[in-house]
Amino acid sequence: MSAERVKLHIDDTGGSGRPVVLIHGWPLAADSWSEQTGPLQDAGHRVISYDRRGFGQSEKPDDGYDYDSLADDLAEVINSLDLKDVTLVGFSMGGGEVARYASRHGLDRVHSVVFAAAVPPFLKQSSDNPDGPLDDETFQGLRSSLEKDREGFFEDFTTGFFSVGDELVVSEQQRQEAMQMARLSDQTAALACMDAWATTDFRSDLDQVTVPALVIHGDSDATVPFEGSGERTHQALADSELALIKGAPHGLNVSHATEFNAALIPFLAR
């Protein structure tokens, strides 16, 4: 079901360069792309990022957190700004919007796509998806923790998001910035989007991705493990490149921003 359109907070650097749309991860906001916006502008791109419905400064409706609705929101951003020859960069949960947009709206306006530490092809482990990295017990534990102790959950989640093993690989200030973004999320949205990214099967959506694709992932990502996600997406997309960043956690666009941008920007030029 597609929900009614909502008012989204959009950041747009403007300009005449080829556009790049940055789609943030859960439970963050467009500000999570701060390490990419400047370098992408310097490379000549028009950079657009937006807060997903229910997150950041966007409107927070009671529903519309399934991927059909979220992909329709992305289409609304693209169409309202009349973007053409655009690259879609989906981080974590945002990779699901990229895949679902391809199957639901086609790629006439799209030059290329990027899956960054992204959840496709299908996180939830099942008999039909034995390689899914998220088993039901772990998922139910995460969901229950978010329901019972939202602040404590976000403390643990953002720590793991930026950690390799037990070592936090960003500054505490950077982790606190992620915490602040997480606190801006609506609880209904946070829970419903957790359900969406954990349980949505994007395998058939990836079949519709026919433009050049880049998969960027950290080899030390404990939140969305490479072997169960990025590696499988790369294998599913014949016309894809892989940038596997050594020693990088889930939040690699912050922790390893230099390496991330060095993989992203040359790909955008193709």
Which positions are catalytic? 92, 221, 250
Report the DSSP beta bridge partners of residue 214: 114, 241
Among candidate residues 203, 261, 211, the one with its CA nearest the CA of residue 86: 211
Among candidate residues 101, 106, 105, the one with its CA nearest the CA of residue 120: 101
C-alpha span between 122 and 72 (Å, rounded):
20
**Residues 6+ positions from 232 with CB-CB distance below 8 Å:** 120, 121, 131
Measured in Å, how far apart are the chain's first and last C-alpha atoms?
36
**Residues 6+ positions from 69 with CB-CB distance below 8 Å:** 1, 2, 3, 53, 63
